[in-house]
Each structure stands twice: as structure tokens, then as C-alpha cells.
Amino acid sequence: MPGAAAEPAPDAAAAVVEQGSLQYVNHGLVATGTLPAATLDFLGDTLGSFSSLAVARGSWRRVEGGYEGTLWTLPDRGRNDPDAGVFFDYPTRLQRMHLRIADGQVQLSPQGGMELRDFEDRPFTGADPGSSTRVQRGHVLPSAGSGVGAGKISLDAEALAFTADGHFYIGDEYAANVYYFDAQGHLQGVIEPPAAIVPRRDGEPAFGSLKAPRQGRRNNQGVEGMALSPDGRRLFVALQSALVQDTAAGDASGRINARVLVYDVSGDPLPRAPIGHYVVQLPAFRHEGGSGPADRTAAQSELRALDDHRLLLLARDSNGLGADDGDRPVFKQVLLVDIAHATNLAGSEYEQTAASVLASAQGSSLRDGIEAAAVTPLIDMLVPSQLARFGLGLERDDPHLALLSEKWESMDLVPALDPEHPRDWFLLVGNDNDFIARHCLMRGQRCDSRFDNDNRLLLYRLTLPAH
């Protein structure tokens, strides 16, 4: 029957997960697909994705043998080497692709895209702004003062959410801003974060990614996850990990207390302040795996909203293909998050000042009176038997399986359109390959790497509770 190619394998054991009074079923990995790392995009650069992605509204349908739709994907700031201070003047863009799922394969065909423009109808740049800024329409925005991308607004695009009329929001790492565009990609407005989140050093904005601020979002840890609620009334915005003031002393396991903001966009697409502000405690894990003390935080990389208080959150390690050390992946999960009973910090000192939510700088426990959101694991992306069915593995030296890539940063939910299982959905999960390719081209210059890190998509089947 149509769509049967995305059914769970006969030997796949469905995992039942409960959160509160609701029950969820994870039917496992049902399809995968790749787009070669050396693929060129509509502007002639190596196509790097997927920092975020979204299936176009109205395009998703069931066809003979499977499914198809239009997929928009968001690359990040270009092929860069931040440790060496090397950046390209990479214009921010969206990639458009034809998506087809059949015979256990996710097939992608590039179909052009859209270059984004600022208030002055100029392209953005992915180049690091350092400490420089520009003012456009009253907003102090990151902008490289000299060198690559000088004078342009710097945007490290990491999150994407479309509205019903084709407008869309882009979440930014540099300033932790949310940018609002029309359907043609022209900037219409900016949602600036609350004061507690704005990165500052000595009282001044510190939007660059190469030097840590003294308060606000950690460098390179800005808006990494963003989604609209299904009814389009709420915009959820998540920081990648804990703010500077919420980071516990010690190793990287002290970054678990991430902030999630909720904006009411039902009347105004550019609200000035959030109506909700919550703490989500991310998982901590051991970099080498095993049961020893945790020394890392599984930073969140994307979210999708199930309703006005339930979220899917993607949290991961930085191990796998593309990482400098290439260590074995040990933590990549999709989490269920419910903010219904979490403490709302909107308008409080924790939003208006750099006051820390931590009870003590020596630990990650929250202050009395602050309750974090409920978090429950839903999908473990590192199940060897599921990955092996699609030629993927967790060991660098396995001659039969491709090493799972490091950065999984994008998700979207689409209905299975199965009349026999009306509550079944597909969760599409994509990697960010950092433009790593043996044959790489960026703004007319070579940017070759030692290996290919293909753009890759994973497809999971879920049964979600009615609400």
C-alpha cells in the first residue's frame, strides 16, 4: 500500500514512553537518506545543511509507494574555522528541495532557494562580527567592522519556523535574536532577547563567537532551537545551553540549565517580551561513555512544539564524524519536554538582570522556588541495530558501516497520513555537516577537507497521544 516503505521493520520493538498521563510510542528508525557532501547549491557554493529544516505547509502528501513534499533547509554561517579565525562572506539563505520517501529511502533533490536580505536590502554575512555592531531601524545588530563581510549584518542562522502565510522566523547564534522575514526573504523585524540573555562584556554587546561574554548567552550557544505551536499562536525559542550566569563551576557538565522563551505571536508577529520563560535541564553525560562521572552537557540543537506546552527537544554530544577527535558517539536523543508545571520566569529578575537561577555556583541545582520543565527521553538515536539496517554505525574503524555524524541539529514532524493509524507521525531529523567535503567551494575559493561528511536525514515513526 502507499507509504508501506516507511513502516517499522518487522523485528523492530516499539518503545512505549510515558510522561504525565500521556503515552507515546517510538516505532524506531524507518528510513534514511543522503545528499552528497560535494553538492553545489543555487548560489554556486557547497550545499551545507541542515542547521534547521521545515516541510512546506500544504506540500506533504501520500503518493503511490511512499510520500513526497517540499523541504526548506537552513545552512549555518558557511565553511569556517573559528579556532583559526577563518570566515567566509557567506550570504544567509534557505535551500529548497523536493523530498520523497520510498523503499526505506529519503530522497532529496535540490530545487533552488532564497537569499535573505536585511532592512537595507543587503545580503547578510556569516562572518564573525567580533565586537562591532551596526544600527538598523533602532536595533543594535552584529556586523563585522572590517575584513570579510565588513559592513554587513552578521547572522549565524540556526533555527527556522514558517508561519501559515509563508513568512518565517530565523534564530541567530550571534546576538540570540530572532529575525522575521516575509515570504520573499526580506527582513521585516527583530525580536531581541530579554536583558538576561543578551551577551555582554563590560556593559557592551559581545556578539562575536570567538571570545566569551561575561553574561548572557555563551559564545556560540545562542538560539539553536525554535518552533511555532501547531496553531501558530506561540513561538518557542531555546538557547543551546546554560547562560554564562547559569553555568556551574567545573567541567562542561555544568551547562545543563538552558532557557526556553515563549512569545505570543497571535496578534503581533514581533512581540517585545515573552509571556513564558522556563528552565529546561539538559542531560549530562560522560564524553567517553560508560557509567563514570558526567563531564559534558548534551546541548540542545532543535525543538518542535506538539502544543502550547509540550515540546520535542533534540539534545546531543559532539562526537562522531566531523568532530576533531572523531570519538564514538555516546549521547544523541530526542526528549519530551513539558513546561506546564515549570516556574514561569517572565518579567522576573532572572529575565531582566544577570541574576543566576543556580542555588550555588558549585552545582547545577536550581534556587528554591524555581522548578524546571519535565524532561523524558523519547528517541535514542544511537541504537546500533537500527542504525546498522541503514548502513550506519558508531565506530570509526568499522569497514562495513558509515560513522554517524557529529552534529544533528534539525527536526520536523509530518503526519503519516495512515487511516489505520491516524495518530502516527514521522519525525525527520537532519545533520549539520559543516560544509565538510573533499571537494568544497565557498565564494569561489576552495575549502576542501580530508573526507566527505554527507548531508544526511533520518526518519523515525512515532505514535503521539491525542490532545
Cα separation, 56 vs 155, in Å, equals 23
**pLDDT, tens digit, 9 for 90 and up, residues 22-62:** 999 999 999 999 999 999 999 999 999 899 999 999 999 99
Kindly state the cell numbers that stand for 454.
554527507
SS3 174: coil
Q: Is residue 1 part of a domain?
A: no
Pairing of strands 402-403, 392-393: parallel
Q: Is residue 371 part of a domain?
A: yes
Q: Is residue 5 part of a domain?
A: no
Q: Is residue 219 part of a domain?
A: yes
Q: Is residue 246 part of a domain?
A: yes
**pLDDT, tens digit, 9 for 90 and up, residues 73-113:** 999 999 988 777 778 999 999 999 999 999 999 999 999 99
Q: Is residue 2 part of a domain?
A: no
For the full predicted model, state whether its pTM sits above 0.75: yes
Closest CA to 124 of 75, 59, 64: 75
Count of domains forming the chain = 1
Cα separation, 222 vs 425, in Å, equals 29
pLDDT of residue 3: 42
Q: Is residue 3 part of a domain?
A: no
Q: Is residue 4 part of a domain?
A: no
pLDDT of residue 6: 73
Cell 536583558 maps to which residue?
Answer: 195
Cα separation, 237 vs 336, in Å, equals 16
Show the low-confidence residues of the chain (pLDDT under 50). 1-3
The residues with which 236 forms a beta bridge, in sequence order, are 227, 262
Domain that holds residue 45: 11-463
